[in-house]
A and B are shown apart, each in its own frame.
Chain A
Amino acid sequence: MKKLGWLTALLALMLLVSACGGNTNKSANGSANDGTSTNAGKTDSEAVSEEPYEVVYAFPFWGSIPKDLQLVQDEINKISKEKINVTVKLLPIDGSTMDNQINLMTVSNEKLDMFLMFNYTTQVANGKLYPIGNIMEQNGKGIIDALGQEYYNSTQIKGVSYGVPSIRDMAQDYGYEIRKDLVDKHNIDLSQVQTFEDFEKIFSVIKEKEPNMAAINPSSYGKIDPLDNSLGVLLNNGQTDLKVVNWFATDEYAQILKTMRKWYQAGYVLKDAAQNKESNITLIKADKIAGATSHMKPGFEAQESRATGKEMVAVRVSPPAAKTSTVTNVMLGVSANAEKPEKVVQFLNLMYTDKDIVNLFDWGIEGQHYVKVQDQENVIKYPDGIDINNVGYTGASWMHGNQLLSYVFEGEDPEIYKKLAEFNQTALRSKALGFSFDAEPVKAEIAASTAVLNQYTKPLEVGVLDVDKVLPEFLKKLEDAGINKIIEEKQKQLDIWAKENNVNP
């Protein structure tokens, strides 16, 4: 709370400061505008001599800012200036303070044109985004083509799109990853695992043969479409109908909890799993666990093998399914304060269509940060003398636009992005794909229910609590917090949405 109190204080201060600073800014901008507008009047026909528009692009980073960021930015600008007369200013923000920073920048009218977010609907509700849907056809056609109409439509809120997802895995499946050496050593047959309950066949072997290691660090499981916040969901990944139900009160959920409880008591589960803050990668590296359950995508095994330094294999128990939440969980949007949203969307368009720009974002400068592997179009490696520890630039390809245009690093499956594209195309679609819940009418109930979820779900889903005793208590508290009102509201909105979009229940 201290933190929250401070935030308010800070905000108020910022407001005052910006009241003083804002004026000078505006007048400066104003005069600059006056200057350019007369210029523009003269040279309207030859747009090239117009000052290039600078797009400030904020995105989160974890760890340290790459030292060659400026160089990469310059290279990107060379291309974008020539193509659309736009330059970009990259603004990496520490992932943990990203939200606050964006809030402060918006409130204080600091220049910000585009940012990456993980909470799309909240940002839309808070009015931080410009409705780019209205200008997409003219300026961002390439984005729509790259995404496919269906995924693009799923970003619409009340008929207008406020952002676009980066192209990565738009759907998720669920499974268990495990160290390959253990599978080989103990002759574990992964193909015998078909359902969630079948995992036990693996776990019991690990428990018996590797007593010093937990078989699993669990993660939340459930074949549902969470409809934004898990408070009111569609069962069966949204394949059956459009009936919003309380997931936590279903038999299916109770059954999963009981299974987890059984596994916890049998000693399969990492004992401190409820308190654990280490990543699966760290735990696997430290020989604490043999494997972990999680959401997956094509190439997941390769990615995990690289991160853990141990070869990993995976077995999946639920098919890939696309829901609004899996599409909109990483979004790029144009700030409501952006001066020329069209220009920003044009730049965004490049991030989805221009292979050179995508690879500058993802891998840096050719020859300096990577070189192409001989005779292969899309495969790259580090130049001599450079490795992951001293390379001057690293980027997150799942974040900056269209990952499908990205090069593949040597050692990974060269076909990976083809597979990913196919994965996205063939994934099951929830019937409610494209529905976004407007939380505004039940804000208080959601806050109260979220607090209950944050308190109960983790220990229950890990198995440290007695399900028969705690689950009823959990459900009672959810009801007191108003989950039924949320479900009712959600159903109402979903019905309206279904009618408007001709979705059959």
Chain B
Amino acid sequence: MIVERITEWNDTVSAELRQAVGYKTVKKKAGMKKFKRYFPLFLLMIPGLLYLIVNNYMPMFGIFIAFKNINYSKGLLGSEWIGLQNFEYLFKTSDAFIITRNTILYNLVFIVLGTIISIAIALLLNDIRNKVLNRFYQSIIVLPHLISFVIVGYLVYALLSVDSGLLNKTILPMFGIAEISWYTEAKYWPYILTIVHMWKTVGLSCIIYLASIISIDPEYYEAAKLDGASRWQQIRKITLPLITPVITILTLLAIGRIFYADFGLFYQVPMNSGAVADTTNVIDTYVFRALMTSGDIGMSSAAGIYQSVVGFVLIVFSNYIVRKANKENALF
């Protein structure tokens, strides 16, 4: 229900907004007129804009912390400037390569697999005609998203524990396989982490895809059916092309965060096991391990900035590519 309503509302509003924003291109007089006409809509924009400014732009003021040696008695502004010294530790480690590789590869896998699985589930959900069941599945599938990673960590532990884990004590013996010490074997973790991540996040993103699938005009499908198109053909020729803009936007946004790793996933789920760090160490866990004792905010901000800058470059670059391919799908 909500999903449908939101998409409906989205459609009408965005159409109006598109007109409203387009006023610049028209003559100035007409522009003023339009501005007046859409004034209430601009008013509607204010709370969102304020939220964005307070939450996303004002904190940017704090960027300078990364370039200072913070001394609390001198205050944030009074502390001395030390240039790029706070960034040094990020590259001091011989693991810098492993960490960067892990961060980016995991995120790439998550983006690709996540998109495919979410769309697949959205398509399946879309075809469930029974309203009650549909709602039920949607809720079940979103549920993991609401569970804290600390708890997820223990759920996984209940499966993998050497002492009492379900896998080691019940499932593996059934197949006659010997106990596996999961928390010391790095090679299993790429799979475990991917599965956990999918289980946790697919629910929410599939709802977004579902929303855009539902908003597709049913007439397309009716026409296709008349022409004798199979289900598979309908999906390929109608659904997928029509939700491509959503896919591109979500993917572009995800690429912007490719240099951020989900701290909960990579720290809590392997239970901070150093033995599997080769496949679980990412930038965020490295920074945490490096600074948890000193709690240096200058150095932690440096890591944050480094990630943002790389993310920013990547997003501009991939948007550029998308623009080349199809201008309409690009973010900006």
Contacts and interface: CB of A to CB of B under 8 A. Distances in A.
A481 B163 contact: no
Contacts, number: 174
Interface string A94-113: 00000100010011000000
Interface in B256-314: 260-263, 271-275, 277, 281, 283-284, 286-297, 299-301, 303-304, 307
B66 to A, nearest CB: 8
Nearest to B284: A1
Given A106-B72, A451-B290, A275 B183 contact: yes
Contacts of B93: 448, 451-452, 477, 480-481
A5 B304 contact: yes
B16 interface: no
Contacts of A440: 69
B76 A15 contact: yes
B94 A119 contact: no
B157 interface: yes
A5 B60 CA distance: 11
A13 interface: yes
Interface residues on B, range: 35 or more
B321 to A, nearest CB: 27
Contacts of B65: 8, 11-12
A451 B71 CA distance: 23
Contact of A272 (B59, B69, B163): B163
A126 B85 CA distance: 16
Determine chain A's interface SS by DSSP, over half rule. helix
A447 B92 contact: yes
Interface string A231-250: 00000000000000000000
B131 interface: no
B28 interface: no
Nearest to B75: A107
A12 B58 contact: yes
A4 B294 CA distance: 13
Interface string B128-169: 000000000000000000000000000001000111000000
A371 B187 CA distance: 60
A1 B163 CA distance: 31
Contacts of A7: 297, 300
B275 A122 contact: no
B288 to A, nearest CB: 7
B290 A8 contact: no
Contacts of A452: 93
A126 B70 contact: yes
A52 interface: no
Interface in B31-69: 58-62, 65, 69
A274 B72 contact: no
Interface string A1-44: 11111011111110110000000000000000000000000000
Given A1-B263, A445-B89, A451-B95, 4 more contacts: A107-B75, A444-B85, A447-B299, A450-B294
Interface of A: 1-5, 7-13, 15-16, 99, 103, 106-107, 119, 122, 126-128, 229, 270-272, 274-275, 277, 336-337, 439-440, 443-448, 450-452, 454-459, 464-465, 476-477, 480-482
Interface of B: 58-62, 65, 69-76, 85, 88-89, 92-95, 157, 161-163, 181, 183-184, 260-263, 271-275, 277, 281, 283-284, 286-297, 299-301, 303-304, 307
18 contacts: A8-B304, A15-B62, A16-B58, A99-B295, A122-B294, A275-B273, A336-B73, A444-B88, A444-B92, A445-B89, A447-B294, A450-B290, A451-B290, A454-B290, A455-B281, A459-B275, A476-B94, A480-B93
